[in-house]
Amino acid sequence: MNEDEITALAKGMAPFVRECVAKAIIVSDELAAQVASAARLLHESPPFEQRAAPRLVRVERDEAGNFVPVYDEPQA
């Protein structure tokens, strides 16, 4: 395709694309309010503290013969 054909194709596609986008963003007022509330909640929530996962060091048996995992203490 040459540049003129690409331009013509883009011009022909533009109304179709606008129509698809217009249909895709129509939501009920209730759903729009819920989405806005969720977005506010995400922006207002405190950051999560990331902790290092404990590392399994060994597996022992207790008096009853059950397996008991022993984890490494995470470094602070």
Q: Which has the closest alpha carbon to 73: 53, 50, 49?
A: 53
Residue 16 maps to a domain: yes
Nearest to 45 by CA among 37, 35, 34, 56: 37
pTM of structure: 0.32
List the pLDDT tens digit at each of the 76 positions of the chain: 777 777 776 677 777 777 776 677 677 888 888 988 988 888 887 777 777 778 899 999 999 999 999 998 766 5
Q: Is residue 22 part of a domain?
A: yes
Domain that holds residue 64: 3-71
- Give a yes or no: residue 76 inside a domain: no
Instruction: Give the separation between CA 5 and CA 13, rounded to whole angstroms.
Output: 12
